[in-house]
Amino acid sequence: MTQNNKSSVTENMGDGISLSRRNLLKQAGCVSATVLGVGAGGAASTVLAQGTASPRQERIPVREAFETLTARESEILDALVSRILPSDENGPGAHEARVVHYIDRILAGPAGNLRELYASAIEAVEAYSGSHGGGSFTALDEDGQDAVLVAMEAGDMEGFPGSSAAFFNLVRTHTIEGAFSDPYYGGNRDFIGWDLLGYPGVRMGSSPADVQMGEDLPPSRQSAYDMAPYTKDPVSRPAANGGAAHGD
C-alpha cells in the first residue's frame, strides 16, 4: 500500500494551499523537493524532505474506501475495537491506527471466510445493545460499550454462529494484528502501534551497541516494503517517493 492504490486525497498543508497528495507524490518523482517546497509552502517540503519521519499530527485522516465492510459496519466495528485498544491520555489507539481498515482488507482477502461471521457478529452486537437500552452500540457511552464487550467475552451474547467468546478472541487477535503489523497491511497507521510498544521499527540490521540494555533507539519509521529489495519492483523509485505516507 505504498503509492499505487491511494485515493485522491486533498491535504491542507496548513498555509491555505491544498494539494492532492497523489499529485504531490507524482511530482516528487520528477521535481525536486526544493522546487516543490517553493510552490507548496514550507510544510510540503518538510514532508518530502523527511520522508517517513513526518510527524503524525501534521496528517489529516484519510477516508479510504472500505473494500468489503459497509459504512455502518465499519463504524460499529471501529467503536468496538476502540474499546479493546482505546485512545486515551496515554495516546492514540485502535481508531487512529486504523485497525478497522486492516480488518476490512483481510475480510476482503485472506480471511474472506470470516466475512459472514463478522456481519453476524456486528448485527448481534447491535441487537444486544438495543435490548440493553442503547439503541445502537455506537450510541452507548464508554462504560456501556465496555459492558457489551464484557458480555461478549464471557460468552453471554446470542446471535453468533459460534460462541460470542470465540468471536471476542478473534476480534481481539485481529485488533492486535491490525495495530502492530507492518503498516503495509492498512493498520498501524503512522507507526502508532509500534510507538505504543516502544518497538523502534524494522531495519536491515543492528549493531552490538544497539542491543545493549538501556539503549533507546530512534524509531526507523519505515515499512518493510519501503526497503528497496522487497518492493519486487524492477524499477527503483526515488527515495522521496518510497512510501512517504503510511496508511494513506
Partner 1 sequence: MATELPRTQVVVIGLGAVGGVAVLPLVNAGIRVTGLEAGSWLSTRDFAPDELRNNIRDWPQSVGKAKQEIPTVRPDDSSVATQGSGHPMMNAVGGTSLHYWAQSWRLNPWDFKVVSETTRRYGVERLPKDSTVEDWPLSYTDLEPFYDRVEHAVGVSGYAGNVKGTILPQGNRFEGARSREYPMPGLRSSGFTDMMSDAARKLGWHPFQAPAAINSEVYGQRPGCFYHGFCDRGGCHVSAKGSTAVTTIPEAMKSGLLTVTTHARVLRIDNDANGRATGVTYTRGGETFFQPADVVLLASHTYENSRLLLLSTSSEFPRGLANNAEQVGKHYFSHHQGAPVLALFPHNLNNWYGLPAQGVAIDEWADDNFDHSSLDFIGGGNLWAHTDRKPIAAGKMSTFGKAPTWGKEWKAFLMKNADRYNVSYIQKTTLPYEGNYLDLDPDVKDALGLPVLRITARYRENELKIAAFTQDKMEEWYRAAGATDIIRAGLGNTMGASTHAYGGTRMGDRASTNVVDRFGFAHEVPNLGILGASVMGTSGARNPTLTAQALAWRTVSHLLQHWQSIVG
Q: Where do contacts with partner 1 occur on this chain (CB under 8 A)?
A: 83-86, 88, 90-91, 93, 110, 146, 149, 153, 172-173, 176-177, 179-182, 184-185, 193-194, 196-200, 202-206, 208, 210-215, 217, 224-225, 227, 229-230, 232
Q: How far is the CB of 217 from partner 1 (least distance, A)?
A: 8
C-beta closer to partner 1: residue 137 or 225 = 225
Question: Could you tell me how far CA 121 lies from the centroid of its own chain?
Answer: 22
Read off the amino acid at residue 125: V
117 closest CA partner among 160, 151, 82, 149: 160
Strand partners, 10: 20
Q: For residues 168 and 84, give the distance between their C-alpha atoms in angstroms, rounded to a whole number.
A: 10
Question: Pairing relation of β-strands 10-12 and 18-20?
Answer: antiparallel
Q: For residues 197 and 10, give the distance between their C-alpha atoms in angstroms, rounded to a whole number.
A: 31
Strand partners, 19: 11
Give the 3-state secondary structure of residue 91: strand
C-beta closer to partner 1: residue 102 or 128 = 102
Q: How far is the CB of 140 from partner 1 (least distance, A)?
A: 15
C-beta closer to partner 1: residue 88 or 141 = 88
Q: How far is the CB of 180 from partner 1 (least distance, A)?
A: 4
Q: How far is the CB of 231 from partner 1 (least distance, A)?
A: 9
Read off the amino acid at residue 35: V
C-beta closer to partner 1: residue 13 or 149 = 149
Q: How far is the CB of 141 from partner 1 (least distance, A)?
A: 14
Q: How far is the CB of 233 from partner 1 (least distance, A)?
A: 10
C-beta closer to partner 1: residue 15 or 67 = 67
Q: For residues 60 and 165, give the distance between their C-alpha atoms in angstroms, rounded to a whole number.
A: 36
145 closest CA partner among 100, 79, 196: 79
C-beta closer to partner 1: residue 15 or 215 = 215
222 closest CA partner among 230, 214, 213: 230
